[in-house]
Amino acid sequence: MAARRPRSASEPDCDDDSYEVLDLTEYARRHHWWNRVFGRNSGPIVEKYSVATQIVMGGVTGWCAGFLFQKVGKLAATAVGGGFLLLQIASHSGYVQVDWKRVEKDVNKAKRQIKKRANRAAPEINTLIEESTEFIKQNIVVSSGFVGGFLLGLAS
């Protein structure tokens, strides 16, 4: 950003306007915008890299993770759906006899066990969420690049 420097009376009048150059990079290094948003203790761990490098690193890793998530998700959905389809065909053809009362009993038992385990696991989940939030606060630039790359990876 350039600001017009006022001319003194002793300087001659000329067509060449002189401007004072303000260095905003130093100001930006000292006053991070995320400090105002997330607090003084937040800041990127990878601060030695430029913002562009951090965004590119986060974007590339996010794209790779999103692409793999998409491919593995499709594979898992295909396997589960195909298995269910084969089970239904085998049941309809008479190759398999399903005891639905026993299936219902086992599913209800599994639901009760999951509820018990979920109540015991709550403190660990809260700790994990707090640690993840702190990591994202400390690496806001890389994290935003990762999220953008992840969404692009899912879409590709």
Q: What pLDDT shows up at residue 53? A: 83
pLDDT digit string (tens) for 93-134?
888 887 889 989 999 999 998 888 777 767 777 788 888 888
pLDDT digits (tens, 9 = 90+) for 125-142: 778 888 888 888 888 888
Q: Give, in degrees to the nearest 5, the angle at Cα 33 between 137 and 19.
A: 155
Whether pTM exceeds 0.85? no
Amino acid occupying residue 99? D
Q: How far, in Å, CA of 46 to CA of 56, rounded?
A: 13
pLDDT at 73: 92
pLDDT at 134: 86
Pick the more confident residue, 9 or 80. 80
Residue 21: HSE in the Cβ half-sphere, 13 Å Cα cutoff? 3
Q: Judge whether residue 25 has pLDDT over 80.
A: no
Tokens of 60: 């590339």
CB within 8 A of 135, min separation 6: which ones? 143
In whole numbers, what is the pLDDT of the chain averaged over residues? 78
Q: Return the exposure string of 102-131: e unless at least 16 CB atoms fall within 10 Å of the residue's CB, then b.
A: eeeeeeeeeeeeeeeeeeeeeeeeeeeeee
Residues 27-81: tens digit of each pLDDT: 666 666 555 655 555 555 556 677 788 888 889 999 999 999 999 999 999 999 9
- What are φ and ψ of residue 52, in 5° steps? -65, -40
Note the pLDDT of residue 55: 85
Contact 75, 65 (CB under 8 A): no
Beta-bridge partner residues of 20: 3
